[in-house]
Amino acid sequence: MKTKAALLLLPLLAGGCIYIEPPIGFPDLNNDTRADKPAPERKTYPRYPYPSEDSREARTHLIRSADGKCVDHSRSGYKGMITYPCHGEPNQQFTLSRNRIMVEGQCLDVAGGRTEDGTPVIAYACHGGKNQQWYRDGRTIRSALNGKCLDAGKHGNQIRMYRCDGSIGQRFNFSRY
């Protein structure tokens, strides 16, 4: 083994270089002409559906915003979802199941089925409409109604729907309760 290493180092010590054949499967960068090659295929990632309600995975979660507060079904005069310091009471315990998110026996709902940015997200009697269907996309929560994201950063502590822009207010973590 020492002999092979010494033989490989001799040309380097003499001011030369060593060419080592690349392993099979590596592109030959000297002959790579991008003009005659198709663009690389764009990777897409699947949506992360919630488990079915009958599934063992349909458990109660706290949904935390990027600032560490929890999504909360407001008990004040405001009917919508807000972020609030985490306390784990039932108004912060969300059941994530196939295409819907429930809190205190009601479904998360894009108010009135509206599609414009800034629409509030409320808890409402479950009816199965598109405005109550949700899916995870990485750390974002998207509406099946319009593909927009829950946003906790543009209206104080109110949760509203906005075009997905990757901002920190649109990132959420789920922790089992």
Residues 25 and 68 placed together within one structural domain of the fold: no
Residue 71: inside a domain: yes
Secondary structure E strands in 66-156: 70-73, 81-84, 94-97, 100-103, 106-110, 119-124, 134-137, 140-143, 149-151
The tokens for 47 are 């949506």
Cα 42 to Cα 51: distance, rounded to the nearest angstrom: 28
Q: Which domain holds residue 82?
A: 60-176
The count of structural domains within the chain is: 2
Residues 92 and 136 placed together within one structural domain of the fold: yes
Q: What is the pLDDT of residue 18?
A: 55
Residues 141 and 66 placed together within one structural domain of the fold: yes
Q: What is the pLDDT of residue 155?
A: 78
Q: What is the pLDDT of residue 169?
A: 95
pTM over 0.85: no
Residue 54: inside a domain: no
* Continuous H helices in 14-129: none
